[in-house]
A and B are shown apart, each in its own frame.
Chain A
Amino acid sequence: MAELSYDAAADVVRGRWSSDGGPAAAEIEIEVDGAAWSRIAGFDAPDGGGIREFHCSLAPVAQPTRSVVAAFAGGELLGRIDVLRRPLRNAHGLAAAEVLATDHHPFSALPWVSLGDAKLGLNGMHLPPEGDPSKLSVEFGDGVAYAVQSGLPSPDYRSHYWYWPNSDFAGFILTVDLAASARDSDPFHFRFVYRSGGNKGAGKRPIDVWLPPNFSSFVGFPADPSLMQRVQTWSNAATSATTGYNAYKTLEALFARSGVLQESNPRILDWGCGHGRIARHFIDASPGARVFGTDVDAENVDWCRTHLGPDRFQLSPLWPPTGFPDAFFDGIFGVSVMTHLTADAQHAWLEELARILRPGGVGLITFQAEGSAAFGSSWRDCAWWDRWNATGFDDGQIDSALEGKISEPTYYRNTTQSRDDVLERWGRFFEVSAIEPAIFGGYQDCAVLRKRAQP
Chain B
Amino acid sequence: MTEPVADISMGDDDTIRGPLPGDCGTRVSVFCDGVRWAGVPVATDDAGRSTFACQLEPLPEPRKTAVEVRDAAGERVLSRSVMQRTRRTNEYGLAAHDVYRLGHPPLTALPWVGFDGVRLTIGGGHLPPRGDPSSLGVRFDSPGVVHTFTYPLRSPGWEDVYWYWPNAANSNLLLAIDLPASPSEADPFHFEFVETRDGDARKLSDVWIPSDLRAFLNFTSDVSRIDRVLKGNDPFSIVLPSYLHFRYLEEQFARFGIVDGAGIRLLDWGCGVGRLSAHFIRTWRQAEIRGTDIDAANVDWCRTSLGRERFEVAPLWPPTGYPAASFDGVFGVSVMTHLTAEAQAAWLRELARVLKPGGIALLTFAGTAGTAVGSRWRSASWWAAYSARGFDAETHDRALDGFIDDPDYYRHTGQTRANVRATWSAHFDVLEMIDAAFGNQDLAVLRRR
Contact = CB atoms under 8 A, between A and B. Distances in A.
Interface stretch (A58-66, A174-182, A375-383): A174-182
Given A115-B114, A188-B213, A213-B212, A219 B236 contact: no
B404 interface: no
Nearest to B216: A178
A219 B188 contact: yes
A177 B306 CA distance: 17
A216 B213 contact: no
A238 B214 contact: no
B115 A118 contact: no
Contacts of B282: 183
Contacts of B186: 219-220
Contacts of A9: none
Interface stretch (B176-184, B340-348, B367-375): B176-184
B287 interface: no
Contact size class for B? 35 or more
A181 B217 CA distance: 6
Interface string B223-251: 00000000000011001000000000000
A112 B118 CA distance: 10
Contacts of B306: 183
Nearest to B304: A182
B114 A218 contact: no
A220 B117 contact: no
A182 B217 contact: yes
Given A182-B305, A183-B218, A118 B235 contact: yes
Nearest to A221: B180
B180 A218 contact: yes
Contact of A179 (B113, B120, B180, B221): B221
Interface string B206-224: 0001011110111111000
Contacts of B220: 179
A308 B183 CA distance: 10
Contacts of A182: 217-218, 305
B158 interface: no
B185 interface: yes
Given A179-B239, A219-B182, A220-B180, A114 B217 contact: no
A371 B117 CA distance: 29
Interface residues of A, number: 39
Interface string A212-249: 11111011110100000000000011110110000000
Given A179-B218, A213-B212, A114 B114 contact: yes
A180 B235 contact: yes
Contacts of B239: 118, 179
B278 interface: yes
Interface in B165-214: 179-186, 188-189, 209, 211-214
A179 B185 contact: no
Given A177-B221, A183-B282, A218 B179 contact: yes
A341 to B, nearest CB: 29
Contacts of A187: 213, 217
B179 A219 contact: yes
A116 interface: yes
A307 B217 contact: no
Interface in A47-82: none
B218 A241 contact: no
B355 to A, nearest CB: 27
B221 A215 contact: no
A303 to B, nearest CB: 10
Interface in B235-269: 235-236, 239
A178 B113 CA distance: 13
Nearest to A183: B218
Interface string B259-302: 00000000000000000001001100000000000000000000
A113 interface: yes
A149 interface: no
B180 A216 contact: no
B116 interface: yes
A238 B219 contact: no
A120 interface: yes
A20 interface: no
B115 A215 contact: yes
Most chain A CB within 10 A, of B117, B118, B179, B218, is at B117
A280 interface: yes
A219 B235 contact: no
A219 B278 CA distance: 26
A181 B218 contact: yes
Interface in B99-137: 113-118, 120
Interface in A101-128: 112-120
A223 B236 contact: no
A187 B215 CA distance: 12
A216 B184 CA distance: 8
Nearest to B278: A183
B211 A220 contact: no
Contact of B217 (A183, A212, A236, A242): A183
A185 interface: yes
Nearest to A113: B117
Contacts of B188: 219
A215 B235 contact: no
A342 to B, nearest CB: 34
Nearest to A177: B221
A180 B218 CA distance: 5
A214 B213 CA distance: 5
Nearest to B116: A114
A211 to B, nearest CB: 9
Contacts of A114: 114-117
A84 B91 CA distance: 81
Given A120-B213, A179-B218, A280 B184 contact: yes
B213 A215 contact: yes
Contact of B236 (A117, A215, A242): A117
Nearest to B179: A218
Contacts of B189: 215-216
A355 B391 CA distance: 80
A157 B394 CA distance: 67
Smallest CB-CB A-B distances: 8 pairs: A220-B184, A237-B180, A238-B117, A179-B235, A221-B180, A178-B216, A115-B115, A179-B219
Interface of A: 112-120, 145, 177-183, 185, 187-188, 212-216, 218-221, 223, 236-239, 241-242, 280, 307-308
Given A120-B213, A180-B221, 12 more contacts: A113-B117, A115-B114, A116-B115, A178-B213, A178-B216, A179-B219, A183-B282, A213-B213, A215-B213, A218-B115, A218-B118, A236-B118
20 contacts: A115-B114, A117-B236, A118-B216, A119-B236, A182-B217, A182-B305, A213-B214, A214-B212, A215-B115, A215-B179, A215-B209, A218-B120, A218-B179, A218-B180, A219-B180, A220-B186, A239-B117, A241-B180, A242-B117, A307-B185
